[in-house]
Amino acid sequence: MTSARRAGGRGHEDAAHDEPDERWAVSYADMVTVLMCLFIVLYAVSVVDETKYDQLKNGLAAAFGQSQVEGGGDLTEGLVIPPELLDDDGVRDVAARAAQELDGLEKMRQQITDALASQGLQDTVDFVIDDRGLKIGLVGAETFFADNRADLSEKADRVLALIGDVLAASGNQISIEGHADHRAAVAPFESNWELSSGRATKVARYLVEQKSIAGTRVQAVGFSDQRPIVAGDSPEDLAANRRVDIVVLSGADEQVRSLIPGLVQAGTQS
């Protein structure tokens, strides 16, 4: 009986060893899948238009505060994956909304440009689109204000009337920001704070009172001489710093707005 049991036991063990172990197939399938994905990505990268890829890479790098990536070095350093390779719907959605927001700001800029050009006033303002929105710079304070005064000139009325028509049709919040050069203000202003604030307030009141823009959409801010755009004492430098900016604030969330400067930069390089 003992011999029979032992023989039966050995037969059961031999049968178990004869069955193939298929656990290796799972690991093998995973490895094949990874390799396939790798080759797909490598092929996709190889067919990307290099010029457009560089523009997008450097543009988005600027949006995230990175320097442009030059040739050489580690290819993965500073790499921005092109949209064709992104599968995340959230990333695509943010990029699409940023492009849409930029398009709206550019259309507003063009409307203002066309309106001013119709009256020969296109050289009285300049524009900047950034992560805040559309900044309309009133070029040369003397065009809009008398020296050391906050009262609007006749030309300022004409320019603001045309700008105000476009702004009234939008729903954006508007920030009017006054700046002064570094020279000390004289009477009736105690300092450049009062002078810059007074000019910003005059522009804000014009938009509210003459163009019926809701006061809840407008704010007036004076920065004195604390935010110069150029350094120097030449008449040109002083005039550049003595300015009023009308900023049409973007209503998009911060994540969307942070991409706008990069998109602007990529567009200027195309």
The rounded distance, in Å, linking the Cα atoms of 83 and 104 is 22
Helix (H, G, I), strand (E, B) or coil at 244: strand
Please state the pTM of the whole predicted model: 0.68
Answer for the pair 63, 261: CB distance below 8 angstroms, yes or no.
yes
The rounded distance, in Å, linking the Cα atoms of 116 and 169 is 16
Tokens representing 5 are: 């049991």
Backbone angles phi, psi at 115, to 5 degrees: -65, -45
Tokens representing 117 are: 């050009």
Counts for the chain of helices (H) and strands (E), in that order: 10, 5
Q: How do the pLDDT tens digits run along the chain, 270 residues long?
A: 444 444 455 555 554 555 556 677 767 777 777 677 666 656 655 555 555 556 555 555 555 555 554 544 443 344 454 454 454 566 778 888 999 999 999 999 999 999 999 999 998 999 999 999 999 998 765 678 777 788 888 889 999 999 999 999 999 999 999 999 899 988 899 999 999 999 999 999 999 999 999 999 999 999 999 999 999 889 888 888 888 999 999 999 998 999 999 889 887 766
The angle formed by the CA atoms of residues 246, 187 and 239, to the nearest 5 degrees, is 40
Tokens representing 105 are: 């700001």
DSSP labels, 80-145:
---GGG---HHHHHHHHHHHHHHHHHHHHHHHHHHHHHTTT-GGGEEEEE-SSEEEEEE--HHHHB
* pLDDT for 73: 45
* pLDDT for 51: 55
- Residue 263 makes CB contacts below 8 A (sequence gap 6+) with 59, 63, 98, 99, 102
The rounded distance, in Å, linking the Cα atoms of 181 and 74 is 46
Sheet of 218-222: strand order equals: 125-129, 133-138, 244-249, 174-178, 218-222
